[in-house]
């Protein structure tokens, strides 16, 4: 009698990969913020240790300046007539420079932001050039342009105008090196603020001037204010171009940086006091600008 063997059972299939369950996701999300996966090396401590030398290098001169400046001696030095005159001249010229940058730089910034034309890249690089030029080069360039024997010096002299070694030279030197900060900020702001609101307003019959005044400027106000503040701070601290183009005449062209330079040779207390004042102003300006930009980003 023929017997039949039972068919062999099929080999067991490999288990399918388990899909991630919600419990796994919940477990990963419930990990504390500082927890790291065992497979990831904890590098935060090493990065922090590597960053400390640069941070210490940046802080050390500033801390040394603050520790070296006695508050009583600083206030007494700032009360000196020469120091007061340097502070007054610096504030007056830097404010004039900022107003000129706003008036003359805003149209150029709008042109760079809203128009495409041949040579735009070269013009854009030209705007940034004073920011990377050595200050001595900027001073010599201004001197050969506006000096008595410069490019436009004789025509100005024929009109009875003298620029070199006057407060006007201080303003021109500050404007040359500081205005690009405002133009760059304004260009970025105008490029980013282009919106349908402008087009809708022009379709409703608003003029370009009204659209610019009532829509474009308010949309870019935070960045424009930040650029103006940076321009003012840069003008307040300008030294190299000013000393070559305007000279270092006390009561006439001697700004705070030039008074620091002279005080370093004659009266270190005055130099320390003015240096601390400029340090405080620069730090305050940066805090205001960064706070304003942070508020602008949060509002968007």
Question: The domain that contains 188 carries what CATH number?
Answer: 1.10.3720.10
- Gyration radius of the chain's alpha carbons: 31
In a domain, 33, yes or no: no
In this prediction, residue 258 has a pLDDT band, given cuts at 50, 70 and 90, of very high
Across the range 171-199, mean pLDDT stands at: 90
pLDDT tens-digit series, residues 91-140? 999 999 999 999 999 999 999 998 888 999 999 999 999 999 999 999 99
Across the range 55-81, mean pLDDT stands at: 90
In this prediction, residue 26 has a pLDDT band, given cuts at 50, 70 and 90, of very low
- Can you tell me the distance from the alpha carbon of 155 to that of 163, in angstroms, rounded to the nearest whole number? 12
The answer on pLDDT for 31 being more than 60 is no
CB 250 within 8 A of CB 85: yes
Percent of the chain predicted with pLDDT > 70: 83
**If you search the block for the tokens 């040579």, which residue do you land on?**
119
In a domain, 59, yes or no: no
Phi and psi at 18, nearest 5°, equal -75, 130
**DSSP type of residue 212:** I
The pTM assigned to this predicted structure is 0.79
Element (H, E) at 183: helix 167-192
In this prediction, residue 43 has a pLDDT band, given cuts at 50, 70 and 90, of confident
In this prediction, residue 4 has a pLDDT band, given cuts at 50, 70 and 90, of very low
Contacting residues for 248 by C-beta, under 8 A, at least 6 apart: 254, 258, 261, 262
Total domain count, the chain: 1
In a domain, 176, yes or no: yes
> Would you state the pLDDT for residue 74?
85
The answer on pLDDT for 142 being more than 80 is yes
> Would you state the pLDDT for residue 267?
82
In a domain, 47, yes or no: no
- Can you tell me the distance from the alpha carbon of 206 to that of 216, in angstroms, rounded to the nearest whole number? 13
Structural domain containing residue 98: 65-194+223-299
- Can you tell me the distance from the alpha carbon of 169 to that of 179, in angstroms, rounded to the nearest whole number? 15
In this prediction, residue 287 has a pLDDT band, given cuts at 50, 70 and 90, of confident
The answer on pLDDT for 280 being more than 80 is yes
- Can you tell me the distance from the alpha carbon of 173 to that of 239, in angstroms, rounded to the nearest whole number? 9
**DSSP type of residue 253:** T
In a domain, 31, yes or no: no
Q: Which residue has the higher pLDDT, 41 or 156?
A: 156
In a domain, 254, yes or no: yes
**If you search the block for the tokens 């103006």, which residue do you land on?**
228
In a domain, 209, yes or no: no
The answer on pLDDT for 160 being more than 50 is yes
> Would you state the pLDDT for residue 32?
53
> Would you state the pLDDT for residue 17?
52
Size (the chain), residues: 300
- Can you tell me the distance from the alpha carbon of 28 to that of 263, in angstroms, rounded to the nearest whole number? 62
- CA angle (207, 211, 217) in 5-degree steps: 150
> Would you state the pLDDT for residue 25?
45
In a domain, 184, yes or no: yes
> Would you state the pLDDT for residue 297?
62
Contacting residues for 260 by C-beta, under 8 A, at least 6 apart: 270, 271, 274, 275, 278
């Amino acid at each position: 009698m023929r017997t039949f063997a039972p068919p062999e059972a099929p080999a067991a299939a490999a288990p399918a990969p388990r899909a991630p369950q919600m419990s796994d996701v919940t477990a990963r999300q419930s990990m504390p913020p500082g927890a790291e996966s065992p497979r990831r090396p904890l590098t935060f401590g090493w990065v922090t240790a590597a960053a400390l030398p640069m941070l210490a290098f940046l802080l050390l001169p500033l801390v040394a300046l603050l520790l070296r400046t006695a508050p009583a001696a600083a206030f007494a030095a700032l009360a000196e007539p020469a120091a007061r005159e340097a502070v007054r001249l610096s504030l007056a010229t830097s404010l004039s420079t900022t107003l000129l940058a706003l008036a003359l730089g805003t149209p150029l910034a709008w042109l760079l932001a809203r128009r495409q034309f041949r040579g735009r890249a070269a013009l854009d690089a030209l705007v940034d050039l004073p920011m990377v030029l050595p200050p001595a080069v900027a001073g010599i360039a201004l001197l050969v342009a506006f000096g008595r024997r410069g490019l436009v010096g004789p025509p100005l002299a024929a009109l009875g105008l003298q620029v070199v070694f006057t407060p006007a030279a201080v303003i021109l030197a500050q404007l040359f090196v500081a205005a690009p900060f405002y133009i760059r900020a304004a260009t970025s702001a105008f490029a980013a603020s282009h919106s349908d609101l402008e087009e809708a307003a022009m379709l409703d019959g608003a003029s370009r001037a009204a659209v610019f005044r009532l829509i474009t400027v308010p949309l870019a106000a935070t960045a424009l204010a930040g650029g103006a503040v940076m321009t003012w701070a840069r003008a307040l601290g300008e030294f190299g171009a000013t000393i070559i183009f305007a000279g270092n005449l006390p009561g006439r062209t001697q700004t705070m940086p030039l008074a620091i330079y002279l005080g370093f040779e004659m009266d270190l207390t005055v130099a320390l006091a003015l240096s601390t004042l400029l340090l405080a102003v620069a730090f305050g300006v940066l805090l205001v600008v960064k706070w304003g930009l942070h508020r602008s980003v949060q509002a968007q």
